[in-house]
Structure 1
Amino acid sequence: MARKRSKPREARAISSWDGWQQPGGNPAFRAARLERGWHSQADVAAAYAAHAAALGTPGDIDVRQVRRWESAKPGWPNTEARRVLGAMFGLSLGQLGFVPPHRARALPSDLTGEEPVRRRSFLQGVLGAASLLGPVGEDRLTAALVQARRYSDHALVGHLRAALDATARADGSTGPRQALPAAMEILAVVEHLARDASPSVRGELLGVGARAAEFTAWLHRDAGAPVHVTVFFHDRAVEWATVTGDGSMHAYVLLRKAQATDRNDAARMLDLSHAAAHGPWTLPPRAQAEALQQEARALALTGAPPDTVARTLDRAHQALEQAGEAEPASCTGPLCAGYTRDRLMAQSAISHREAGQPSRAVELLQQHLVDGAFAPRDRAFFTAHLSGALAAAGEPDQAAATGMSALRLAAAPGFGQALGELRRTAAQLRPHARRPAVRELRQALTAVTV
């Protein structure tokens, strides 16, 4: 008797549950990959491998796995695959046609007669976020799903805000790969409920959605996702900020887009930061200060004279002086409420570095990294910039030692922006590659990158 062929390892791991069938296969997944130019299932497998490598997630898939995801029984991807699929498509798993097993087994009784399309809309990634909301929030979410057309629960919006803030705090310590699934689930909840919410609640939901979409863009960028993924979520944030009439949030997303722009595209960075700081809206003073310092960095990158950069930084400090007391940083509270003088000075140092004044950058960063209170992510990022400034100032050994400090902060949580700056520093230090400290940094960074 022929031996029964075992299921491929990656298929067993990724399609972990077979209980849910969709009539006519899974057209949502197929449509999404065709929209992105992946015309064959082999294209999807190749894109999966590239995104997994960018995220540092182990494992590849083959065409059989893609075929399974497009079938009537797509299964439920495991944790690693959920992260990769989210980065690939910029969509929730529900929007790709996947349904968590516990939800397929426990549909509300009044949904069993719904047509397939309507039923699937209730299954789009929403109950996965229930654990983020606590027992009371979970009960409210379940009730809202059953009575979505009559949904008018302002308290549930508060639970979503709290969950988003908790996710943002976790990101500052544990990194983007840990926070991305939670952020995507919150975004899926907002998208789903907003379709049928009462007008009085819809605006609140979309306000939270704009914050969640901007934060999700940030996470994807820091995790090393392709640029189009970050752009997708930034555009969603701008859309929701616009329809809710939140001009300040619209400007803030422009600021974040400027910060996400590659330094080699300084003209675009300048356009975005200038629009954020000077557009037809009023930013809170702390957000205005951050927008002006980003404009200063862009000016430095475009070759503006140092005194022009300095005057723009002076305006940033003047804006910050108009602010009241700083508040704890929050993803859903006042924009840039936790933006402090120490952070402005550290970012100003980056502008001085870009303007060809590395010694001034070193002086500011050394002072404010000692004096300021920074989350692990921010400390890793600014320490990486200090390493680069030291390299530019002709201190290769000190630059390498500082780079190792930044690497120890950034490697485990995968703080992508800090690691990117360290790679830039390693390139600067290439002429000193034989020095022991420099060699140690380059080898350690290569190991992390691989």
Structure 2
Amino acid sequence: MGQPRKELTPDRSPLHLWGSELRAWRDRRGLSLAKMGELIRYNASYLARIERGERKPPRELAEIVDRELNTSGALLRLWNLVDPNPNEIRHANHVANQADHVANTSQVVASVAHLPAESEEAGITVPCRTSDGGIIFVTLPRRTFLSGLGLSAVTAAVTGPPAIAQARSVPLAGAAAPDLNPAEHFRQLRQVLIDNDNLLGPLRTIPTVEAQISAIQQLRQVHGGSDGRDLLYIQTQYAEFCGWLHHDAGNFQASRYWLDRALEWSYATGDIDITTYILARKGQLAGDMGDAITAIGVSTAAKAQARPDTKLGAIAATYAAYGHALAKDPTASARALDDAQTILSTLDLDPSSPWGTWMDSSYVDVHRARSHHVLGDHRRAAEGFQNAIIGLPSGYHRDRGVYLARESLAHAGAKEIEQAATVGLQALSIAQATSSARIITELTRLDGQLERWGSIPAVSEFRDTFDEIVAHQA
């Protein structure tokens, strides 16, 4: 037997995260360290040290593995976080490139704002069922990817018209004003990326967000005073957003890494609200990871420091409630949810407040339904998700898919099998469009629960469609 693989620690630093991502891409391509070493002509033991975060990868290596593993630029973009030194980085689209120097704000905006163009060899990330029944996400060349999954629409929405996709100097809408300060540019771009994520899911948004964090870090080296403080704040917001994108994509380790970075940077901003919000988000992540103790502890800490005139206390209480449900404490869960509703009902909201614009009574009810499901009250859970779906505002396409998937699981728990399969199919169509790992993960559980009822036509249709969308590991 070979030696067990050393567990990696991507949370420790960008260097360790890069090594972990290198191993993940190598695994996706089915390469051992020895095989990859032969492919790129590097010593396998040297590559092993890089994967463990013991050695800093040179940029040349990052370029080689990015090309040979066909990561569509992911490893190269992440390398910029490992060594964000403007004197060493010379990349065609990086703010440190001499052709687009950071001292010229309009040129910087043009060089970093574009979304990357796609080629026929660019990767498409799709869900794949492993031999043990789990789900992983793998990247396939675009030209070999199955048609019929809406990829033409996805590509058009992300890359924009061909003229914009090909022109490196064309910024996104709202970024061309010559007097636009750097932080305001990134605020506007962040909103575009949030809208893009709401419609299409995280996989097409993550590389751009990570690239913007690197660009902001570069700009902070030459901007001091109020501009520098504003850039630190927006850098913190981008890191939190990146944590959310990885969370939705099912990469909990990367999500935790970015939330930890966001929390660290938030203390430097001196803004208690953003620190509180990130703490609450860490509680949400812990809940989705099934870690009840951390979900309760971190969310309770966030609630304790939340200012009373914001929605932050309600957000934190809601995530604490789910932690209590995971801990099988229905009384504490209900109390926390009631507390969240009370906070919302007594707030005199400031319409200009950026915190929890999506947070309302319906959102609390969603988590009440989710808690009912965890605690075994499946019919009440299904009814709660149905009401939440009715109340969703337009534009929350992916959230609708998540709620539908959870409703289908609640129906399955209540032994309402045909309805579970029917609702599951609706969620599956949204999963196709958004590549949301949250939806796919819930539907994977549903697929397993429905297996014994495969002779029912609705179940058979769901499971056949699911198998068409989710590839099987060879």
Unaligned segments of structure 2, at least 5 residues: 1-12, 43-56, 103-107, 116-170
CA shift for structure 1 position 228: 3.0
Q: Does 1:323 align with 2:347?
A: yes
Q: Does 1:173 align with 2:199?
A: yes
Aligned residue pairs, count: 379
Please tell me whether the aligned partners of residues 233 and 266 of structure 2 are also in contact (alpha carbons under 8 angstroms).
yes
Larger fraction in helix: 1
Q: Does 1:439 align with 2:465?
A: no
CA shift for structure 1 position 327: 5.7
Please tell me whether the aligned partners of residues 82 and 181 of structure 1 are also in contact (alpha carbons under 8 angstroms).
no
CA shift for structure 1 position 204: 1.0
Query: What is the CA–CA distance in structure 1 between the aligned matches of 2:18 and 2:203, rounded to whole Å?
Result: 26
Alignment of 1:123-138 (within 5 A): 128-131=111-114, 133-134=171-172, 137=175
Query: What is the CA–CA distance in structure 1 between the aligned matches of 2:374 and 2:72, rounded to whole Å?
Result: 38
Query: What is the CA–CA distance in structure 1 between the aligned matches of 2:18 and 2:265, rounded to whole Å?
Result: 27
Aligned AA for 2:222? D
Please tell me whether the aligned partners of residues 427 and 439 of structure 2 are also in contact (alpha carbons under 8 angstroms).
yes
Query: What is the CA–CA distance in structure 2 between the aligned matches of 1:90 and 1:430, rounded to whole Å?
Result: 46
Specify the alignment match of 1:406 in structure 2.
427
Query: What is the CA–CA distance in structure 1 between the aligned matches of 2:37 and 2:229, rounded to whole Å?
Result: 43
The residue matched to 1:394 in structure 2 has which SS? coil
Distance 1:368 1:229, change over 3 A: closer
Query: What is the CA–CA distance in structure 2 between the aligned matches of 1:209 and 1:419, rounded to whole Å?
Result: 30
Q: Does 1:427 align with 2:416?
A: no
CA shift for structure 1 position 64: 3.6
Q: Does 1:348 align with 2:339?
A: no
CA shift for structure 1 position 372: 2.8
Distance 1:36 1:182, change over 3 A: closer
CA shift for structure 1 position 101: 3.1
Please give the per-residue CA displacement for 1:154-198, whole angstroms capped at 9, x wherever unaligned: 722111101001101110001111111221122112111122321
CA shift for structure 1 position 366: 1.4
Query: What is the CA–CA distance in structure 1 between the aligned matches of 2:29 and 2:77, rounded to whole Å?
Result: 9
Q: Does 1:449 align with 2:449?
A: no
Residue from 406, 425, 438 that aligns with 1:417: 438
Distance 1:396 1:72, change over 3 A: closer
| Larger RCO (CA within 8 A; separation ≥ 6) | 2
Residue from 224, 227, 233 that aligns with 1:198: 224
Distance 1:275 1:391, change over 3 A: same
Residue from 95, 107, 115 that aligns with 2:98: 107
Distance 1:128 1:82, change over 3 A: farther
Please tell me whether the aligned partners of residues 182 and 231 of structure 2 are also in contact (alpha carbons under 8 angstroms).
no
Residue from 203, 210, 213 that aligns with 1:187: 213
Amino-acid identity (%) = 25
CA shift for structure 1 position 98: 6.3
Query: What is the CA–CA distance in structure 1 between the aligned matches of 2:244 and 2:381, rounded to whole Å?
Result: 25
Unaligned segments of structure 1, at least 5 residues: 1-31, 54-59, 112-124, 141-152
Alignment of 1:24-423 (within 5 A): 35=16, 46-50=23-27, 63-65=38-40, 70-71=59-60, 74=63, 81-82=71-72, 84-85=74-75, 91=81, 99-101=90-92, 107-108=98-99, 128-131=111-114, 133-134=171-172, 137=175, 155-225=181-251, 227-261=252-286, 262-278=288-304, 280-282=305-307, 285-304=310-329, 306-324=330-348, 334-373=354-393, 375-423=396-444
Distance 1:135 1:360, change over 3 A: closer
Aligned AA for 2:337? L
CA shift for structure 1 position 415: 1.0
Query: What is the CA–CA distance in structure 2 between the aligned matches of 1:92 and 1:82, rounded to whole Å?
Result: 18
CA shift for structure 1 position 221: 2.2
Please give the per-residue CA displacement for 1:96-140, whole angstroms capped at 9, x wherever unaligned: 9764336699725999xxxxxxxxxxxxx9975233754884686
CA shift for structure 1 position 391: 0.8
Query: What is the CA–CA distance in structure 2 between the aligned matches of 1:104 and 1:295, rounded to whole Å?
Result: 41
Query: What is the CA–CA distance in structure 2 between the aligned matches of 1:384 and 1:83, rounded to whole Å?
Result: 32
Distance 1:299 1:52, change over 3 A: farther
Aligned AA for 1:131? H
Distance 1:247 1:326, change over 3 A: closer
Please tell me whether the aligned partners of residues 397 and 437 of structure 1 are also in contact (alpha carbons under 8 angstroms).
yes
Distance 1:199 1:427, change over 3 A: same
Aligned AA for 2:461? E
Distance 1:402 1:393, change over 3 A: same
Aligned AA for 2:266? A
CA shift for structure 1 position 290: 2.1
Please tell me whether the aligned partners of residues 284 and 335 of structure 1 are also in contact (alpha carbons under 8 angstroms).
no
Specify the alignment match of 2:118 in structure 1.
none
Aligned AA for 1:314? D
